[in-house]
Every structure is written in structure tokens, then in C-alpha cells.
Amino acid sequence: MRKLLLLLFVGFLFSLNLSLHDYHNPSATHILDAEVIDNLLIVTGMIGGIEFYDISTPEVLNHLTSFDLSGGGGGGGGVKPNCIRATDNYAYITTTNGVAIVDISNPSNPQSLGYIPGTNNLILENLDIHEDLLVVAAHEDGVRLYDLLNPSNPIYISTIDTENAWAVAVDDYYMYIADQSTLLVYYNFEDSYEYELMASLELSNAIKDIVVDSNSEYLYAALGSDGVAAINLMVNVTPQIIDTYNTSAMANRLEVFDNDKVAVSDWDDVEVLSLNIEESSLDLVGYKNTTRRTMAVAVKDNYIYSAEWASVQVFEFEEIEGADIDLSTYELNYPYTDNGGSFTMSADVINNGNSDLIIFDNYTTNSEFVVNNPLTELIPGETQMVEITYYADADNASGSYRIFSNDDDEWEVICETNGNINGANIGQDAPDFNLEVVANGTGDFQLSDYLGSVVVIAFFSPN
């Protein structure tokens, strides 16, 4: 019998953690960003439009409307919304058609006001707003500055040149630009829109997002597979790295709350980090595996809104008196196994609460998957590695491992189990194929030409 143990999660005992309050499955998919302004949550989806929620009761997602931008909306190959920032009665959204302007004074009936002139031919990413200044990261076309004195008609001011601007943040005196893996710090010397480069700091990976705390003392940078870096802005001229926390997956978007905490959208999960200045450390203080590809987060007080590929969830960062269950993975995909053979994989189950986790039942729904060591009661902070063996008997075996417990907000959790599925399985020979090269070269691509090499194929719909 072959065996593989997946150690994907390290157990911590948190005095504070994330409790699930609400979930919504909107019409929008390929969700990429979220913004909170007062009692309004706005979620942008590349397909299906833009979702508006009333969060005056912060733990409840009161869906107001789904909104399509003019010029094609969210589907059918038209406008593709990406990132969003809002101020007062207006939202600004980077799209494939330029920077869209939306009147949100009536969030139940938002109105499209068109696009900022001159932005339709740009590849646009993140953006930020400070008072009457809108700044937009446009990759190789730099960071573009706009005057919002008339918010329905932004006026172009200037462009700061960059190699590849992914994100930007601005405050009273400074502008921070994520230029590939370099953090650029610009200073506004004359209280105008004239910025001069003051310092730069090279980080370990391409910067996906940057946020600054409310006192402009510390900056946090999302570094993808390298986690999150905390940076001190209060030192002489050059910012200094305080600490880097290696998140469990891929840090993508950030939001600061409670001044010293940062919520992280980390692909498979939401993580909460806390900056300890005395210890010069960035520490994990909250974690929830969302199972739904978390792309962005937004916060209101201690509520975290998880914007996922095709769903939205609300978590509260709070002290949990009861039990709190988490799994290291919610999907076990077994390598190809000959009929009559077996293969063992595992999932770590942890109790992140402050009371004992009582297991009422745990079982698999397909008899080809057998739990070797059924889950037992877990005290706070305790982890049990549950091993599940796949005994191959036929192709396309699928089912789930189900756990029922006394966790108040997740009384049932499900981990999918898949073996010898119809399609590609780990360990099988890849089928040969030939495709025309449509970008970054000419001719055909034949997989067998690369026999003996590592080939990474990323499947992603361009529409």
C-alpha cells in the first residue's frame, strides 16, 4: 500500500479567530475585488457584473442589486470589471474598457457615468483614492493621477513612469507604488500633485497589493507565494522590512483593520496577521479555510468580507468561546491507482476554538474510500491527522468525507474525495496534443517535443 501524507496546515491556538456569519452565491463570477464604503459592500466580478450589498447589519449580506456596466456588462465578452475604490457617492472601477465611473448615491440603482477619457487602451490594475486624488496602476504605462474635484468627471493630471505597476496607495504626503518586486516611495514636497521619488525597497517577489495603516507608520505588501511583508515607514529615508509572514497559499489582497491587524486573501483561505512592534514580528492570529478561492477581502470594523471566485462570505474576527473546526484541505485528489491497489492520503483537522470539539459522526460517502483512524474529540488547539485510503475498484470514484460536530457556525464540513477520475490523474502519461501558438511566438506547440522536461499548463478562460 502506497501512502502520501499532506501536511498542509500547522495548528495554532488562537484566542481570536474567524466565525462564519453569512454566505451568498451571486450572479457574478470570476470575482476579483471588494470595497466597503460606510454601510455598502461592492463586489466586482469579471463575468456577471457587479454586486451591491447593504451591510448596515455587518454580519448579514443584504443583497441590493446586480449591476452591469454600460458597454457590455459583465458577460458576453464585454466589459470586464477588475479593481474598485469608492468615495462619497462615486465608485471607480478598472475594466478592460478603461476606468469606469459609477454613481452609487442610490446603491439599489447604481448609474454608469461612462469612462475616464484616455484609459480605454490601458491594461489597468489596482487603484486608490485620497481626498480629491485618484491614482491608477496601469502596469507598463505607469501610475496615472486624476483630479476628483468634480468626481463625475475626473481630470488627468500626470503619469509616474514605472516598469510594471501592479498596485498603488496614497496618503497625505506619500505615494507608494508596487513596481513589480520594487516598492517605490514618492513624496509630495509642495502640497500639490507634484511627486518626487524619495526611496525604493526591493522585496522578495512581485508585489500583488499594498496597504498602509491609518497612521501611515507601517505598510503591508502582499507577495504572492512569499506571503506578506510588514514594512516600517518611520525610519529616516529608506523603508525597512520588519518581518515577513509566509502565508499558507498565495497572498493576493490586503485590508488593514484595528490599526495593527491585516486581513489577507490567501487563495484557499482568509488569514489575519497582527504586527507586534516590540517583537518585530508579524504573527498569525486568525485563519479560515474558505474552500472557494478567496481573491480579495474588505473589512468593516472586525467583520471581514471574503470575495471569492463565485461567492461572498462574512467572517467576524472575535474570541470564540466554543469549538471551531478547520481542515487543512477540503479536497483529496488521489493519484492514479490500479484496480485492486490502494493509496492513502490525509487531512489535518484542528480545533481553533476555546472549547472541546465534540465529533457526532464522521464517515465517507463512497465505500472505495475508507477512514483508517476516525476523528475523535479534540481539545482546544489539538490537531488530528485523519488518513483516508482509496481502494481502487472502478474508474471515476468520487465521494466525500463528512464531519458533524458541535461547531456552531460549521456543524457540517465536507472534504471531497476523488480517485481515478475521468480525465488527467496524477501519475498517468499526459496525452499528446498540438496547438497553434497565438501569442509570444509563432508556429505550433507539440507536447511530445518536450518529453523529459517539466511543462506547466495553465488553463484560464480569456472571456
Poorest-pLDDT segment among 226-230, 268-272, 285-289, 456-460: 456-460
- Rounded to whole angstroms, what are the CA distances from 392 to 5, 339, 348? 18, 5, 23
What 8-state DSSP symbol labels residue 224?
B
pTM for this prediction: 0.85
* Structural contact between residues 96 and 79, judged by C-beta atoms closer than 8 angstroms: yes
CA angle 52, 57, 58 (to 5 degrees): 75
- Rounded to whole angstroms, what are the CA distances from 11 to 228, 234, 248, 378? 19, 34, 12, 12
* Structural contact between residues 128 and 84, judged by C-beta atoms closer than 8 angstroms: no
* Structural contact between residues 388 and 347, judged by C-beta atoms closer than 8 angstroms: yes
What 8-state DSSP symbol labels residue 357?
B
* Structural contact between residues 96 and 463, judged by C-beta atoms closer than 8 angstroms: no
**Domain 17-318 CATH superfamily:** YVTN repeat-like/Quinoprotein amine dehydrogenase (2.130.10.10)
pLDDT given for residue 461 in this prediction: 53
pLDDT (tens digit per residue) in 169-186: 999 889 999 999 999 999
pLDDT given for residue 14 in this prediction: 47
* Structural contact between residues 383 and 11, judged by C-beta atoms closer than 8 angstroms: yes
pLDDT (tens digit per residue) in 18-77: 889 999 999 999 999 999 999 999 999 998 889 999 999 999 999 999 999 864 333 334
Is the pLDDT at 276 greater than 70? The verdict is: yes
Distance CA 106, CA 120 (A): 26
Distance CA 313, CA 244 (A): 27
pLDDT (tens digit per residue) in 288-336: 988 778 999 999 999 999 999 999 999 999 888 899 999 988 899 999 9
* Structural contact between residues 184 and 176, judged by C-beta atoms closer than 8 angstroms: yes
Average pLDDT score over residue span 99-128: 96
- Assigned C-alpha cell, 54: 447593504
* Structural contact between residues 169 and 199, judged by C-beta atoms closer than 8 angstroms: no
Residue ranges per domain, the chain? 17-318, 325-419
Left (φ > 0), alpha (ψ -120 to 50) or beta: where does 293 sit?
A: left
pLDDT given for residue 463 in this prediction: 45
pLDDT given for residue 421 in this prediction: 83
pLDDT (tens digit per residue) in 330-358: 899 999 999 999 999 999 999 988 999 99
Is the pLDDT at 1 greater than 60? The verdict is: no
Architecture of domain 325-419 in CATH?
Answer: Sandwich (2.60)
